[in-house]
Amino acid sequence: MADAASQVLLGSGLTILSQPLMYVKVLIQVGYEPLPPTIGRNIFGRQVCQLPGLFSYAQHIASIDGRRGLFTGLTPRLCSGVLGTVVHGKVLQELGPGNVQKEVSSSFDRVIKETTREMIARSAATVITHPFHVITLRSMVQFIGRESKYCGLCDSIVTIYREEGILGFFAGLVPRLLGDILSLWLCNSLAYLVNTYALDSGVSTMNEMKSYSQAVTGFFASMLTYPFVLVSNLMAVNNCGLAGGCPPYSPIYTSWIDCWCMLQKEGNMSRGNSLFFRKVPFGKTYCCDLKMLI
């Protein structure tokens, strides 16, 4: 019980600290670029035309809504995090303890069993918390058109149910689930291969090295599955009555596959993945704040 409470508190703290970062990331994902490109230098020192980074973007938001505005969407995101942690723990508890026998510690069968167990728990948590995720994204994206459609948690729930029904709460769920599952399997499989065939079991710091390899493979897996995150977020706000989910900011997608194909065709599959050194893609145009064009 104490462990669950500590996980909830730690997760909530990290959520609060990372909220401005996620806010900026979501607005970039939908293609909102309120600030013009500037001339800067990349990590190699070459002069390039860059889009504004995290701090410039956050400063722009704060100049309009104040510093408090950087925490828009925090309430539903906190609800999602707390509920997700509880559901994840409960499902793992129902599935029983994992196989921790030392004699099969390097067995790929053990990796499959543990990954399957974790996949079920994560998927259950994702499905149950997705409605809060949708509300979080929409409350952020309404910054673009200065709407107030998704302000309160209860009002947002009523609005989505009235306009879209139950399915509205699960917009973008399929690519999000697929991305989570693929990322988990990639991470655990790569970590197993590295720990088994690349690391010498005789090294005294083996446990530390294996934990580092898990972190590295996790980062690599998340990079590979990022397009699923992008497509999921776009589908969650697509055609929901907000300016940020409609043309010219975003086309009306018929399905998440249509969204995927269109982003791939435009070369925008990694949009929002980096918040620094954001080079302007050749031949690409971005929607700017209408006030800047007047």
Q: What is the CATH number of the domain that holds 143?
A: 1.50.40.10
| Mean pLDDT, range 132-150, rounded to an integer | 95
Residue 203 neighbours by CB under 8 Å, 6+ apart? 209
Give the pLDDT score at 36. 86
The per-residue pLDDT for range 248-273, each reduced to its tens digit, is 778 999 999 999 999 999 888 999 89
The per-residue pLDDT for range 168-188, each reduced to its tens digit, is 999 999 999 999 999 999 998
* Domain interval for residue 76: 1-291
Alpha-carbon gap, residue 277 to 248, rounded angstroms? 25
159: Cα separation from own chain's centroid: 24
Alpha-carbon gap, residue 260 to 149, rounded angstroms? 27
- Can you tell me whether residue 200 is helix, strand or coil? coil
Indicate the average pLDDT of the chain: 85
| Mean pLDDT, range 41-55, rounded to an integer | 79
Q: By percentage, how much of the chain surpasses pLDDT 90?
A: 55
Q: How many domains does the chain have?
A: 1
Give the pLDDT score at 283. 47
| Residue 29, pLDDT above cutoff 70 | yes
**pTM, 2 dp:** 0.87
- The secondary element (H helix, E strand) that includes residue 284 is none
Give the pLDDT score at 86. 92
The per-residue pLDDT for range 65-114, each reduced to its tens digit, is 999 999 999 999 999 999 999 999 999 988 876 544 444 445 778 888 99
DSSP string, 69-134: GGGTTHHHHHHHHHHHHHHHHHHHHHH------GGGTT-HHHHHHHHHHHHHHHHHHHHHHHHHHH
Give the pLDDT score at 101. 47
Tokens read off for 57 = 């973007």
Between 132 and 5, the more confident residue is 132
